[in-house]
Structure 1
Amino acid sequence: MKTSKTKTVVFVTGAFVSNSGWDEWKAYFESKGYDTIAPAWPFKDGTAAELRARQPNDTDLAHLTLDELVTHYENIVKALPEKPIVIGHSLGGLVTQIIVNQGLAAAGVAIHSVPPQGVFPYEFSFLKAGWKSLGLFTSLDETYLMSFEDWQYAFVNEMPLEEQQAAYEANTIPESKNVARGGLTSAAHVDYEKPHPPLLLTSGSIDNIIPAHLNHRNYEAYKSSGSVLDYKEFPGRNHYVLGQPTWKEDADYILAWLDKNA
Structure 2
Amino acid sequence: MSKTIVLIHGAWLNSRCWEAWKARYEAKGYTVSAPDWPHDDRSPAQLREAPDPQLARTGQKAIVDHFERIIRALPEEPILIGHSLGGVFTQHLLDRGCGVAGVAIDPAPTPGVPLGPNAIVSALPVFSDLLSWKKAKVMSRRFFETRFAQTAPKARAAELYDRYIVPTAGRVYWDGVTGASGQIRWDNPDRAPLLLIGGDLDLIADASMTRAIYKKQKRAPSRTDLKIFEGRSHWTCMDAGWETVADHALDWAVANARPARSAAAAAA
SS of match in other structure, 2:136: coil
Given that residues 201 and 232 in structure 1 are in contact (C-alpha distance below 8 angstroms), is that contact kept between their aligned partners in structure 2?
Answer: yes
The correspondence of residues 90-169 of structure 1 with structure 2, limited to 5 A, is: 90-121=84-115, 123-134=116-127, 136-138=129-131, 140-169=133-162
SS of match in other structure, 2:6: strand
Out of 8, 13, 17, the residue aligned to residue 12 of structure 1 is 8
Letter in 2 for 1:255: L
Letter in 2 for 1:160: P
Alignment RMSD (CA, Å): 1.5
Given that residues 135 and 144 in structure 1 are in contact (C-alpha distance below 8 angstroms), is that contact kept between their aligned partners in structure 2?
Answer: no
Counterpart of 1:252 in structure 2 is 247
Letter in 2 for 1:118: G
1:202 aligns with 2:200: no
Task: Give the Cα separation in 1 of the matches to 2:114 and 2:217.
Answer: 15
TM-superposed deviation, 1:70:
0.8
Task: Give the Cα separation in 1 of the matches to 2:22 and 2:16.
Answer: 10
Task: Give the Cα separation in 1 of the matches to 2:17 and 2:44.
Answer: 10
Task: Give the Cα separation in 2 of the matches to 1:145 and 1:25.
Answer: 25
TM-superposed deviation, 1:135:
5.8
Deviations 1:50-93 (A, max 9, x none): 000015xx421111111111100011111112211111000000
Out of 22, 25, 45, the residue aligned to residue 29 of structure 1 is 25
TM-superposed deviation, 1:246:
0.7
TM-superposed deviation, 1:186:
3.9
Letter in 1 for 2:86: G
Is the alpha carbon distance of 1:135 and 1:85 closer, same or farther for their aligned partners in structure 2, counting shifts above 3 Å? Answer: farther
Letter in 1 for 2:4: T
Out of 195, 213, 219, the residue aligned to residue 218 of structure 1 is 213
TM-score (normalised: structure 2): 0.90
Is the alpha carbon distance of 1:49 and 1:114 closer, same or farther for their aligned partners in structure 2, counting shifts above 3 Å? Answer: same
Given that residues 117 and 206 in structure 2 are in contact (C-alpha distance below 8 angstroms), is that contact kept between their aligned partners in structure 1?
Answer: no
Counterpart of 1:235 in structure 2 is 230
Task: Give the Cα separation in 1 of the matches to 2:41 and 2:135.
Answer: 18
1:170 aligns with 2:166: no
Out of 53, 61, 64, the residue aligned to residue 70 of structure 1 is 64
Task: Give the Cα separation in 2 of the matches to 1:118 and 1:131.
Answer: 20
| Identical amino acids, percent of aligned pairs | 34
TM-superposed deviation, 1:141:
4.1
Which runs of 5 or more structure 1 residues have no equivalent in the other structure?
Answer: none
TM-superposed deviation, 1:170:
0.9
Given that residues 138 and 167 in structure 2 are in contact (C-alpha distance below 8 angstroms), is that contact kept between their aligned partners in structure 1?
Answer: yes
SS of match in other structure, 2:55: helix
Task: Give the Cα separation in 1 of the matches to 2:219 and 2:38.
Answer: 35
Deviations 1:72-117 (A, max 9, x none): 0011111112211111000000000000111111110001011321
Deviations 1:152-180 (A, max 9, x none): 23311133312322221111111111122
Out of 30, 53, 56, the residue aligned to residue 59 of structure 1 is 53
Out of 65, 73, 83, the residue aligned to residue 77 of structure 2 is 83
Given that residues 117 and 186 in structure 1 are in contact (C-alpha distance below 8 angstroms), is that contact kept between their aligned partners in structure 2?
Answer: no
Letter in 2 for 1:49: A
Given that residues 94 and 188 in structure 1 are in contact (C-alpha distance below 8 angstroms), is that contact kept between their aligned partners in structure 2?
Answer: no
Letter in 2 for 1:10: V
Letter in 1 for 2:19: D
Task: Give the Cα separation in 1 of the matches to 2:70 and 2:91.
Answer: 15
